[in-house]
Homo-oligomer: A and B are copies of this chain.
Amino acid sequence: MTSESPKTLINGASCNSLAVSDRGLSYGHGVFETIRVSQARPVLWEQHMARMLQSCARIGIKVAKDLSHLLSNDVRSLCGSNSDGVIKIIITAGTGGRGYSTPEITDTQRIVTLFPMPDYPTGNTEHGVKVITCDYRLSHNSRLAGIKHLNRLDQVMARSEWQDPEIAEGIVLDCENNVVEGTMSNLFAIKDGVLLTPSLERAGVKGIMRDFVVETALSMGLETREVSLGLDELKKADELFVTNSVIGLWPIRQWDKQRYCKGVTTAELQRCVERLFDEKVSDHS
């Protein structure tokens, strides 16, 4: 590893490499979380931990009872007192087991890395981004839908469709041509005063920031619906935006050839997301 490598802890100890026999590498038998750190505080920590534990249970990874606590210590140790950045947590099923069979006793691996904040153009947040529609289609799989697992070739394939740095995100449809999400984000639309976001029952990743935006919208009295809509219907929206835990909320100013204005509802939701990042009170226990 070079000296520029981000800092990583594996099972609490400083380390940058993992056994090649790990089921995370062999099969993608693991989950991950990407968490924004604001002034040494991992934002929406409890929500990320809850999703991570649910995801592990869904794909048969047994974890220590105090995993969240151990991870919290890892994050504190990596971040120090006052850093901003991004924490990536990977939990793998560990080594062992002949072939695909998960062994009875596993050495679940806990990998925590601190990255600097990505240098996205500041205009993305302020003026919005340009997105395209990807050709690649997501399969339906209700057993894995919603989980942030390590089988992410779908996203790699979709993301490989453009190189233009002016394009910030690609919107991905499913095999029935319903819009699902962005390659690294969830999608929202506002149409006639109603907040719409694609259902993730059959494909997609259920983002923590997506949950936060839905809850915020509900608390604002905004009608909110999970929908299965095609490209043409969603493009008719009045306002559009994408979210994830690192970027927060980016308004969409252009989707393929269609242009959009940043509306008042998007702006209001965005203020709530930005406040969340700026909060001084720690929710990191």
Binding site for B on A (CB under 8 A): 1, 5-6, 8, 10, 15-30, 32, 59-60, 90, 92-93, 98-102, 111, 113, 118, 136-137, 139-141, 143-144, 149-160, 175, 183-184
Alpha-carbon distance A232/B102, docked complex (angstroms): 29
Alpha-carbon distance A111/B19, docked complex (angstroms): 11
A–B complex contacts, Cβ < 8 Å, 18 sampled: A17-B17, A18-B18, A22-B25, A25-B90, A27-B150, A27-B153, A28-B152, A28-B153, A60-B157, A60-B160, A100-B158, A102-B159, A137-B141, A137-B143, A144-B157, A149-B153, A151-B152, A151-B153
**A113 shortest CB reach to chain B, Å:** 7
**A126 shortest CB reach to chain B, Å:** 21
In the assembly, how many copies of this chain are there?
Answer: 2
Say yes or no: A8 contacts B20, CB within 8 Å: yes
Q: Provide the residues of chain B in CB contact with A149, threshold 8 Å.
A: 153
Tell me the dominant secondary structure on chain A's binding face.
Answer: loop
Q: Provide the residues of chain B in CB contact with A100, threshold 8 Å.
A: 152, 155-156, 158-159, 183-184
Say yes or no: A102 contacts B160, CB within 8 Å: yes
**A282 shortest CB reach to chain B, Å:** 27
Say yes or no: B150 contacts A99, CB within 8 Å: no
Say yes or no: B17 contacts A157, CB within 8 Å: no
**A23, closest chain B residue (CB):** B156
Q: Provide the residues of chain B in CB contact with A140, threshold 8 Å.
A: 139, 175
**Cβ-defined partner of A17 (8 Å) among B20, B28, B154:** B20
**A152 shortest CB reach to chain B, Å:** 4
Alpha-carbon distance A28/B22, docked complex (angstroms): 12
Say yes or no: B59 contacts A156, CB within 8 Å: yes
**A247 shortest CB reach to chain B, Å:** 11
Q: A20-B90, A140-B139, A175-B140 are in contact. Are A159 and B25 (CB under 8 A)?
A: no
Q: Provide the residues of chain B in CB contact with A24, threshold 8 Å.
A: 25
Given A8-B20, A26-B32, A28-B152, 7 new contacts (CB under 8 A): A6-B21, A17-B19, A18-B18, A26-B90, A28-B28, A100-B158, A100-B184
**Cβ-defined partner of A21 (8 Å) among B28, B113, B152, B160:** B113
**A59, closest chain B residue (CB):** B153
Most buried by B among A6, A28, A101: A28
**A246, closest chain B residue (CB):** B99
Q: A113-B20, A139-B140 are in contact. Are A152 and B184 (CB under 8 A)?
A: no
Q: Provide the residues of chain B in CB contact with A8, threshold 8 Å.
A: 20
Say yes or no: A98 contacts B118, CB within 8 Å: yes
**A154 shortest CB reach to chain B, Å:** 8
Say yes or no: A29 contacts B101, CB within 8 Å: no
Say yes or no: A18 contacts B17, CB within 8 Å: yes
Say yes or no: B152 contacts A27, CB within 8 Å: yes
